[in-house]
C-alpha cells in the first residue's frame, strides 16, 4: 500500500446562509410557535399549509429574470421546463391557494400558517437564507377594522411571548398617505414610479441613518463607512425638507389614507390599546410592492446584544399590511385582504437575549449502564429502562461498547445525565442496584484530587433494592429539580 493513500476527503460544509438547529433551538422554537398559535386560534383563525415550492409566476410578477433566474429566489426548472421557485414569503402562496379554491372558500377567510421561507440573497448577522415566518391573514374583508384587529393581534402576540409592554411597539402607517406625499413633491404619475421607490427606500432607512442620513439619500447621495457611494434620489432641497417634515409629523396630510388611520386609531382607543402598544408613525414604509392601504410593523425597543457583546440594531420582527390586488391577479375580481407576518427566527434571537426563551432545557435521560453483555443481562437491563419509562422517567440504555465501563460514565457526564444506574454481577446477586447522582458527584469531585480515592469513594452513590429503584430515581430527580429551582431563584 502506498503510504499516502489519502483520497481527497470531502469537505463537510454548510451552505452559507443556512444553519443547523440544535436540540435547544428546536425546543425553544416549538415553544414560541405554540404560544403564537394559541393567540391566532383564540382570535378565530384556522391553519392552512401550502408547499415550499410554487410555480414561479404564481409567486410574483418579477421572476425569473432570464439572465439571472435565481436572483433573489431559488428557482429550478421542472422536467416539463416550467420554472418553479422556493417560496420567499407565505402571503403569495396563500393568495394562490385562495384563488384556486375561491368557490369553496367562505369569505371572509381567516387563516394562519407557519413555515420556512427562502431568499437567495446575501446573508448577514441574524439574516439567513432559510428562515421561519408565522402569518395570519383575513381575505375578503375590505374595512380597516380588519387592519386594526391585525395590529392588536400582533401586540397581543408580542405579550404572549413574554415581551413586556414598553419593550415593543406596533407602528402603523398607510400607503395612501405616502402616495399623497409623493404627489406633493411632484412624483405623482406612473412615469415617476421608479423615483417614488427611491424616495420610499430612503424614508425606510430613517431608523438606520437618522434624518441627516436620509436627507443625503433624498438629495445627492451618501458615502458609507467603507467609502462606497450610494446615489441619492436627487430631490430639490425644499422637497427633501418636505419629505423629512412629513416623516417627523410636522407636515400633516389630509386624504383617504389619513382618514383610514383615524378610523383605526378610534378602534385602538375603544379597545384600550394606547400608544405604548400601537402608534401611528408616518415614517413606516414597509413592503414597497403589493401593499395598497394600511401597513404596520412590530419593532422591539430593548437593546439586543450579539455574541460579541455589541448592541445591534434589531429593526422589525414582523409586519404586514393590506394587499387588495394580490388575489385579483388570479381571479380577476376584487378580493381585498390584509395580514401580517412574524419573523420567528429573528424574534427567537431577540428573545434569547431577553432571557425569555424557554431555557429550562429538557433534562437528559437517566442512563442504565451495562456491566455484562450476555443475552440475559441485556434483557434485564432493558427491562430496567422500560420500568423507568413506564413510570414517566426519561431513560435510556448505554448503547456504546459496554466493555469499557469508564466510558459509560464519561458518556453520561458529557450528555448531562442526572443519574446513572449500575448493576454488576455482585449487585445482581444481592438483588440491588447502585444509583449514582452525577450532579452531586461533580460537586464532590472538586474536593478530591487523587484518582484512586475518587474512584474508591464512589461519591454520591446509593444502593437500593431493585424493587425500589424506580421510586428512588423519581425522588432523586425531584430533589435535583428542586435544587436547580433554588439556584435559579438565587441568581435572579
Partner RNA sequence: GCAGUCGUAGCUCAGUUGGUUAGAGCGUCGGAUUGUGGCUCCGAAGGUCGGUGGUUCGAAUCCACCCGACUGUACCA
Residues of span 209-238 touching RNA by CB under 7 A:
209, 217, 222, 224-228, 230
Among 234, 352, 405, 477, binds RNA (CB under 7 A): 405
Residues between 246 and 285 that touch RNA (CB under 7 A): none
Residue 120 binds RNA, judged by CB under 7 A? yes
Residue 431 binds RNA, judged by CB under 7 A? no
Residue 66 binds RNA, judged by CB under 7 A? no
Residue 88 binds RNA, judged by CB under 7 A? yes
Residue 69 binds RNA, judged by CB under 7 A? no
Q: Which residues pair with 131 in a beta bridge?
A: 117
Cis, bond preceding 64 (omega within 30 deg of 0): yes
**d(Cα 214, Cα 211) in Å, to the nearest integer?**
5
Residue 284: count of CB within 10 angstroms of its CB: 28
Residue 196 binds RNA, judged by CB under 7 A? no
The answer to whether 77 touches 84, Cβ cutoff 8 Å, is: yes
Instruction: Candidates 88-96, 165-173, 174-182, 236-244: pick the segment binding RNA (CB under 7 A).
Output: 88-96
Among 52, 130, 195, 461, binds RNA (CB under 7 A): 461
Residue 107 binds RNA, judged by CB under 7 A? no
The cell for 159 is 405579550
To RNA, the closest distance from the beta carbon of 276 in angstroms equals 28
**d(Cα 92, Cα 118) in Å, to the nearest integer?**
13
Size of the site for RNA (CB under 7 A): 71
Residue 430 binds RNA, judged by CB under 7 A? no
Residue 403 binds RNA, judged by CB under 7 A? yes
Among 69, 108, 123, 142, binds RNA (CB under 7 A): 123
To RNA, the closest distance from the beta carbon of 401 in angstroms equals 8
Residues between 18 and 47 that touch RNA (CB under 7 A): none
The cell for 282 is 408616518
**d(Cα 149, Cα 134) in Å, to the nearest integer?**
17
Residue 450 binds RNA, judged by CB under 7 A? yes
To RNA, the closest distance from the beta carbon of 61 in angstroms equals 8
**d(Cα 304, Cα 168) in Å, to the nearest integer?**
12
To RNA, the closest distance from the beta carbon of 32 in angstroms equals 23
Instruction: Candidates 161-169, 340-348, 374-382, 441-449: pick the segment binding RNA (CB under 7 A).
Output: 441-449
Give me the half-sphere count of Cα atoms (radius 13 Å) on the Cβ side of residue 308.
Answer: 4
**d(Cα 224, Cα 25) in Å, to the nearest integer?**
35
Among 33, 251, 288, 464, binds RNA (CB under 7 A): 288
Q: What residues contact 342, with CB distance under 8 A and at least 6 apart?
A: 36, 133, 134, 135, 154, 157, 298, 317, 318
Among 399, 451, 490, 491, binds RNA (CB under 7 A): 451
Among 24, 156, 387, 413, binds RNA (CB under 7 A): 413
Among 81, 104, 122, 374, binds RNA (CB under 7 A): 122
The answer to whether 298 touches 288, Cβ cutoff 8 Å, is: no
**d(Cα 476, Cα 465) in Å, to the nearest integer?**
15
Residue 374 binds RNA, judged by CB under 7 A? no
Residue 350 binds RNA, judged by CB under 7 A? no
Residue 415 binds RNA, judged by CB under 7 A? no
Residue 426 binds RNA, judged by CB under 7 A? yes
Name the strand (E) or helix (H) holding 298: strand 294-300
The answer to whether 116 touches 88, Cβ cutoff 8 Å, is: no
- DSSP symbol at 458: -
The cell for 342 is 412574524
Give me the half-sphere count of Cα atoms (radius 13 Å) on the Cβ side of residue 441.
Answer: 22
Q: Whose Cβ is closer to RNA: residue 122's or residue 333's?
A: 122
The cell for 20 is 443547523
Residue 73 binds RNA, judged by CB under 7 A? yes
Residue 399 binds RNA, judged by CB under 7 A? no
To RNA, the closest distance from the beta carbon of 444 in angstroms equals 7
Residue 381 binds RNA, judged by CB under 7 A? no
Residue 133 binds RNA, judged by CB under 7 A? no
Residue 427 binds RNA, judged by CB under 7 A? yes
Q: What CA–CA distances, in Å, run from 416 to 24, 203, 361?
A: 14, 51, 11
Q: What residues contact 208, with CB distance under 8 A and at least 6 apart?
A: 313, 315
Amino acid at each position: 500500500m502506498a503510504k499516502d493513500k489519502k483520497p481527497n476527503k470531502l469537505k463537510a460544509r454548510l451552505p452559507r446562509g443556512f444553519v443547523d438547529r440544535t436540540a435547544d433551538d428546536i425546543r425553544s422554537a416549538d415553544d414560541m410557535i405554540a404560544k403564537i398559535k394559541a393567540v391566532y386560534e383564540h382570535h378565530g383563525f384556522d391553519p392552512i399549509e401550502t408547499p415550499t415550492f410554487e410555480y414561479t409566476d404564481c409567486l410574483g410578477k418579477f421572476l425569473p429574470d432570464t439572465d439571472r433566474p435565481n436572483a433573489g429566489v431559488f428557482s429550478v426548472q421542472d422536467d416539463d421546463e416550467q420554472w418553479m421557485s422556493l417560496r420567499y414569503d407565505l402571503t403569495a402562496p396563500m393568495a394562490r391557494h385562495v384563488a384556486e379554491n375561491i368557490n369553496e372558500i367562505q369569505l371572509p377567510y381567516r387563516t394562519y400558517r407557519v413555515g420556512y421561507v427562502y431568499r437567495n440573497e446575501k446573508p448577514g448577522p441574524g439574516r439567513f437564507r432559510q428562515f421561519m415566518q408565522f402569518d395570519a391573514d383575513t381575505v375578503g374583508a375590505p374595512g380597516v377594522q380588519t387592519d386594526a384587529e391585525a395590529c392588536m393581534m400582533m401586540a397581543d402576540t408580542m405579550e404572549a411571548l413574554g415581551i413586556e409592554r414598553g419593550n415593543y411597539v406596533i407602528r402603523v402607517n398607510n400607503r395612501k398617505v405616502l402616495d399623497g406625499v409623493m404627489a406633493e413633491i411632484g412624483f405623482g404619475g406612473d412615469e415617476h414610479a421608479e423615483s417614488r421607490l427611491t424616495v420610499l427606500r430612503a424614508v425606510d432607512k430613517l431608523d438606520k441613518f437618522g434624518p441627516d442620513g436620509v436627507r443625503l439619500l433624498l438629495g445627492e447621495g451618501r458615502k458609507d463607512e467603507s467609502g462606497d457611494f450610494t446615489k441619492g434620489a436627487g430631490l430639490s432641497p425644499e422637497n427633501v425638507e418636505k419629505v423629512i417634515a412629513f416623516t417627523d409629523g410636522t407636515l400633516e396630510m389630509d386624504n383617504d389614507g389619513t382618514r383610514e388611520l383615524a378610523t383605526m386609531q378610534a378602534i385602538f382607543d375603544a379597545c384600550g390599546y394606547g400608544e405604548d402598544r400601537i402608534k401611528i408613525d408616518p415614517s413606516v414604509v414597509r413592503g414597497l410592492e403589493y401593499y395598497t392601504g394600511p401597513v404596520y410593523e412590530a419593532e422591539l425597543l430593548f437593546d439586543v446584544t450579539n455574541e460579541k457583546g455589541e448592541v445591534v440594531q434589531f429593526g422589525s420582527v414582523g409586519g404586514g399590511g393590506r394587499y387588495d390586488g394580490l388575489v385579483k391577479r388570479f381571479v380577476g375580481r376584487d378580493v381585498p385582504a390584509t395580514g401580517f407576518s412574524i419573523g420567528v427566527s429573528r424574534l427567537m434571537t431577540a428573545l434569547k437575549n431577553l432571557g425569555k426563551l424557554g431555557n429550562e432545557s429538557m433534562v437528559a435521560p437517566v442512563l442504565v449502564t451495562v456491566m455484562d453483555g450476555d443475552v440475559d443481562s441485556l434483557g434485564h437491563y432493558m427491562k430496567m429502562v422500560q420500568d423507568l419509562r413506564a413510570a414517566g422517567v426519561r431513560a435510556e440504555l448505554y448503547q456504546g461498547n459496554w466493555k469499557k465501563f469508564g466510558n459509560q460514565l464519561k458518556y453520561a457526564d458529557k450528555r448531562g445525565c442526572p443519574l446513572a444506574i449500575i448493576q454488576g454481577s455482585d449487585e445482581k446477586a444481592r438483588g440491588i442496584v447502585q444509583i449514582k447522582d452525577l450532579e452531586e458527584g461533580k460537586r464532590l469531585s472538586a474536593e478530591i484530587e487523587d484518582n484512586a480515592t475518587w474512584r474508591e469513594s464512589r461519591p454520591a452513590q446509593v444502593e437500593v433494592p431493585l424493587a425500589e429503584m424506580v421510586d428512588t430515581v423519581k425522588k432523586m430527580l425531584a430533589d435535583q429539580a428542586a435544587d436547580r429551582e433554588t439556584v435559579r431563584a438565587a441568581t435572579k
